């Protein structure tokens, strides 16, 4: 099926989300829409899927002009869409979700759901496209990557010829990202077209056949997948992007955060953090690395007062464990939560209101009796300019922002109070290269101001670029704390549960004798700038910050290596708005 968008224009108030956009999708191709957060990518695809109506322009399917007033119209035309936040009923089984709205029943109109037929249909489509899934599993029990697979199967069961994937890797682990790329190539081989919305440059180079770059609502160029990362980044954001994280030399200060014997249980009562101890110094960034699900989330929740724990975590002598989240904030802890949608924002509140949430009962925003709306509005306008939050005004609801701009609101709130400790979980999840550069700079500014910073990220390149030391977690324990210039090979083995001695032995061994690493662990074939330009430094004592360097960001690392079949990258969770969520 050949698809054309001609002169699509869509405005929201004074903001032009799409401005006279032309786009062609050929049969059997993976076409990437590349652009920064808020560029207009998702708005354009929501128009194509019938969720929004364009102010002007037309949609042409196989030479015929079509008008889509609802998703049903788009589905009947052969268009399917997998949203970043899945449209599934958690308490239903896979089969029940997939036949929802297209149920076949036994016993006539007043009969019951033919569950056997539903399961058979799921198994058939799963086998045809290589998308294994258990039709009887409850959706709420499935990993995020499998839930996404269910969404793809749902579109294919409705005979989609063009599949729109909106930021599909934002919620995936590296292993799940590789699996998704395999699925996309399989769909292409079956003659389907895939429109892949992203801002991740390495992913574009890994899977795209063609690239269309959108900036501030306009198509600014077409690019070949072989185009260099720096050129793509510049085209995407409209300026040269600094791809290195600069860290000035500095000596570590006194111990600011001391964690001793910390044990935390997860929602199922299982031990997620097991007797963890570490020190974080003033003027230091300590990165927590590990495959997602090894206790990092529970560790942060315990330190920030969101989860009960045993043990001790003292910030400048004051105990954090057992304190309420409000008390932890009053102690000077700034927190960037890993899930901004659930833990970082009130979507229906304005930007200004979200920025004042944690201090609404204190000056300058108010007191226990009333709010100072003028102060809240002024602070919102100031942060809007300072953090380059793309919105019509500070009164714009958070739900109307793109995911990257939502993240900037969360970061702005954490930093505006000049925190004594910054705890950042997945700080750049789901943000584009320009926003990533901005957030990284702000984190290093905290370090350079003598503040302790604790970062948790599943992006290994981000951890090595920002951190002075790296603590690797595996199955709830810190298996080692190493300098930030430790090789990816050693970090990978530590993340898989191997010790430092195993990693050193593996580096010294011939390739044929290498210890296999789990697919969920970053591959040694993906070196960071540090691994490429410097010999790994000898491990330093835990209380010493290694000699700083200009560390290459995830984007720059992609430029240095050839395009491969899959370069997994994870970002955490993001853009959900119907209006400006790109």
pLDDT digits (tens, 9 = 90+) for 357-395: 888 888 888 887 888 899 999 999 999 999 988 888 999
Domain co-membership, 197 together with 54: yes
Statement to judge: residues 25 and 85 lie in one domain: yes
Q: Are 183 and 214 found together in one domain? A: yes
What average pLDDT does range 218-242 have in this prediction? 84
Q: Closest Cα to residue 439, out of 484, 472, 490, 403? A: 403
Q: Are residues 249 and 218 in the same domain?
A: no
345 within some domain: yes
Mark whether 168 and 31 lie in a shared domain.
Answer: yes
Mean pLDDT across 535-558: 40
> Is the model's pTM score more than 0.85?
no
Q: What is the CATH number of the domain that holds 298?
A: 3.40.50.300
Same domain, 102 and 11: yes
- For residues 72-92, give the mean pLDDT: 91
Q: CA-to-CA distance for 92 and 199, rounded, in angstroms?
A: 32
**Is the model more confident about 175 or about 312?**
312
Structure tokens at 141: 């029990």
**Structural domain of 537:** 244-318+422-445+452-552
What pLDDT is recorded for position 106?
A: 55
pLDDT-derived band at 293 (thresholds 50, 70, 90) equals confident
In a domain, 288, yes or no: yes
The predicted pLDDT at position 561 comes to 39
Euclidean distance between CA atoms 97 and 266, whole angstroms: 28
Is residue 85 within 8 A of residue 577, CB to CB? The reply is no
When comparing pLDDT for 6 and 566, which is higher?
A: 6
Which of 180, 213, 237 finishes a domain?
Answer: 237
For residues 351 and 440, state if they share a domain.
no
Edge-first strand order for the sheet with 3-12 is: 15-25, 3-12, 56-61, 64-66
Q: Which of 345, 336, 481, 361 has its CA nearest to residue 411?
A: 336
Say yes or no: 152 and 139 in one domain: yes
Q: Residue 506 corresponds to which tokens in the numbers above? A: 């593996």
Identify whether residues 473 and 535 lie together within a single domain.
Answer: yes
Could you tell me if 435 and 521 lie in one domain?
yes
Domain count within the chain: 3
Q: Pairing relation of β-strands 56-61 and 210-215?
A: unpaired
Nearest Cα residue to 37 out of 511, 431, 564, 455: 431
The pLDDT of residue 562 is 37
Helix (H, G, I), strand (E, B) or coil at 549: coil
Structure tokens at 40: 């207009």
Where are the alpha helices (H) located in 12-143, listed in sequence order? 41-48, 71-76, 94-99, 115-129
Which of 371, 402, 418 is a domain's end point? 418
Q: Helix axis angle, 174-189 relative to 115-129, nearest 10°?
A: 90
pLDDT per residue as tens digits for the range 407-461: 999 999 999 989 999 999 989 877 777 788 889 999 999 999 999 999 998 778 8
Q: Does any domain span residue 323?
A: no
362 lies in the same domain as 401: yes
Residue 581 lies in a domain: no
Of the two residues 492 and 448, the one the predictor is more confident about is: 448
Terminal Cα-to-Cα distance of the chain (whole angstroms) = 25
- Whether 155 and 296 map to the same domain: the answer is no
pLDDT at 573 over 70: no
pLDDT of residue 244: 66
Number of C-alpha atoms within 13 angstroms, CB side, residue 221?
13
Indicate the pLDDT class of residue 145, thresholds 50, 70 and 90: confident
Instruction: List, for residues 115-129, the tens digit of each pLDDT value.
Output: 888 899 899 998 888
**Is residue 10 assigned to a domain?**
yes
pLDDT at 412: 94
Give residue-wise pLDDT tens across range 52-73: 999 999 999 999 999 999 999 9
């Amino acid at each position: 099926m050949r698809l054309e968008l001609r002169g699509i224009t869509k405005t929201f108030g004074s903001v032009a989300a799409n401005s006279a956009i032309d786009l062609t999708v050929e049969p059997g191709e993976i076409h990437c829409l590349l652009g920064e957060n808020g560029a207009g990518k998702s708005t354009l695809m929501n128009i194509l899927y019938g969720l929004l109506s364009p102010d002007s322009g037309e949609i042409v399917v196989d030479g015929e002009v079509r008008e889509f007033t609802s998703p049903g119209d788009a589905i009947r035309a052969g268009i399917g869409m997998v949203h970043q936040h899945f449209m599934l009923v958690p308490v239903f089984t896979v089969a029940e979700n997939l036949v929802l709205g297209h149920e076949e029943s036994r016993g006539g109109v007043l009969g019951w759901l033919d569950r056997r037929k539903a399961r058979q249909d799921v198994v058939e489509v799963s086998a045809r496209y290589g998308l294994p899934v258990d039709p009887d599993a409850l959706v709420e029990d499935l990993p995020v990557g499998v839930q996404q697979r269910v969404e793809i199967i749902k579109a294919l069961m409705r005979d989609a010829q063009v599949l729109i994937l909106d930021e599909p890797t934002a919620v995936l682990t590296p292993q799940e990202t590789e699996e998704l790329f395999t699925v996309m190539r399989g769909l292409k081989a079956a003659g389907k077209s895939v429109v892949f919305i992203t801002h991740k440059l390495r992913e574009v180079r890994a899977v795209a056949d063609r690239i269309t770059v959108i900036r501030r609502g306009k198509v600014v160029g077409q690019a070949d997948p072989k185009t260099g990362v720096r050129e793509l980044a510049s085209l995407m954001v409209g300026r040269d992007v600094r791809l290195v994280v600069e860290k000035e030399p500095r000596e570590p200060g006194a111990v600011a955060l001391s964690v001793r014997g910390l044990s935390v249980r997860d929602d199922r009562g299982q031990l997620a953090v097991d007797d963890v101890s570490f020190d974080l110094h003033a003027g230091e960034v300590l990165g927590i690395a590990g495959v997602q699900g090894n206790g990092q989330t529970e560790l942060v929740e315990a330190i920030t007062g969101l989860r009960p724990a045993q043990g001790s975590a003292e910030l400048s002598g004051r105990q954090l464990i057992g304190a309420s989240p409000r008390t932890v904030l009053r102690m000077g802890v700034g927190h960037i939560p890993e899930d901004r949608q659930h833990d970082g924002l009130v979507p229906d509140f304005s930007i200004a209101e979200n920025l004042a949430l944690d201090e609404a009962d204190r000056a300058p925003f108010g007191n226990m009796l009333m709010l100072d709306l003028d102060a809240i509005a002024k602070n919102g306008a100031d942060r809007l300019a300072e953090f380059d939050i793309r919105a019509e005004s500070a009164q714009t609801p958070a739900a109307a922002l793109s995911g990257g701009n939502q993240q900037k609101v969360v970061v702005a709130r954490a930093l505006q109070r000049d925190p004594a400790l910054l705890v950042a979980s997945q700080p750049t999840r789901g943000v584009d290269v320009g926003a990533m550069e901005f957030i990284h700079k702000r984190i290093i500014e905290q370090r350079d101001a003598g503040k302790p910073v604790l970062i948790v990220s599943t992006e290994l390149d981000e951890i090595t670029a920002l951190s002075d030391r790296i603590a690797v977690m595996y199955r709830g324990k810190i298996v080692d704390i190493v300098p930030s210039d430790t090789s990816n090979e050693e970090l990978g083995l530590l993340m898989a549960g191997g010790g430092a001695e195993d990693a050193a032995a593996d580096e010294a061994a011939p390739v044929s004798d290498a210890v296999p690493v789990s697919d969920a662990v970053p591959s040694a074939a993906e070196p960071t700038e540090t691994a490429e330009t410097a010999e790994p430094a000898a491990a330093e004592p835990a209380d010493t910050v290694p000699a700083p360097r200009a560390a290459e960001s995830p984007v720059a690392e992609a430029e240095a290596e050839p395009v491969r079949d899959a370069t997994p990258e994870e970002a955490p969770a993001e853009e959900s708005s119907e209006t400006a969520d790109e």
